[in-house]
Amino acid sequence: MTDEAGEGRRVAVLISGRGSNMTALADAVAEGRVPGARIVLVLSDKPQAAGLAAAKERGIETAVVERRGRSREEHEREMISELHARQVELICLAGYMRLLSPCFVEEFRGRVLNIHPSLLPAFPGLDAQRQAVEHGARVSGCTVHFVDETLDGGPIVTQRTVPVLDTDTPDTLAARILFEEHRAYPEALALVCSGAYEIVGRRVVKSSKQ
């Protein structure tokens, strides 16, 4: 599926920090592994986010919209106007460390993806890798899902698994999961950009629909 200029869906990536999933997406798009996508904006709520420099190095436009003591809705309204100003069609949350309010979700319903470092619905919320180690899970992984009003609870697009080793700490498990995150997110974005799926209840079902 492509836009009027034939160059792909206009994607924004929202970050707050390191941005390794953002660079994985950007590099996959640049290498032609995500047909039908182009990243038109990397938007951060933190001016010091390391991912901003990585985006600029790749020639991607960046913007920062800080919260600055405003209400969540006021902050998000400014973000929404930055996104609309670039005609953004799809949004990838990639280490964006704030919960989105229902007004943001409603504005982009079915068009916001998130990546989470566990096999949802296990271990939602913060510190998912530590939760997995402390719970004694033998398998963990990552999940790319659509964002709805629930915490890490929207329809699942893709998951990838990793073993949890007896010797794992939260950090060693996080590194193993991150490796898979960098594969899962481009795969999920490619599916969503292809339009070849339907959301049936909670399920994302592959279809031939374009």
Residues in contact with ligand GRF by the rule CB under 6 A: 15, 17-21, 94-95, 115-117, 178, 181
Q: Which residue has the tokens 């399920």?
A: 203
Q: Which residue has the CB atom at the shortest distance from ligand GRF? A: 95
DSSP string, 81-141: HHHHHTT--EEEESS--SPPPHHHHHHTTT-EEEEESS-TTSS-SS-HHHHHHHHT-SEEE
Nearest to residue 38, comparing CAs of 96, 86, 94? 86
Whose Cβ is closer to ligand GRF: residue 77's or residue 183's?
183
Q: Min. distance of Cβ 95 from ligand GRF in angstroms?
A: 3
Whose Cβ is closer to ligand GRF: residue 18's or residue 58's?
18
Name the token pair of 32. Answer: 């032609």
The tally of CA atoms less than 13 A away on the side-chain side of residue 55 is: 29
Q: Is 116 a catalytic residue?
A: yes
Q: Min. distance of Cβ 193 from ligand GRF in angstroms?
A: 19
Q: Which of 75, 116, 145, 182 is catalytic?
A: 116
Q: Min. distance of Cβ 182 from ligand GRF in angstroms?
A: 8
Whose Cβ is closer to ligand GRF: residue 18's or residue 33's?
18
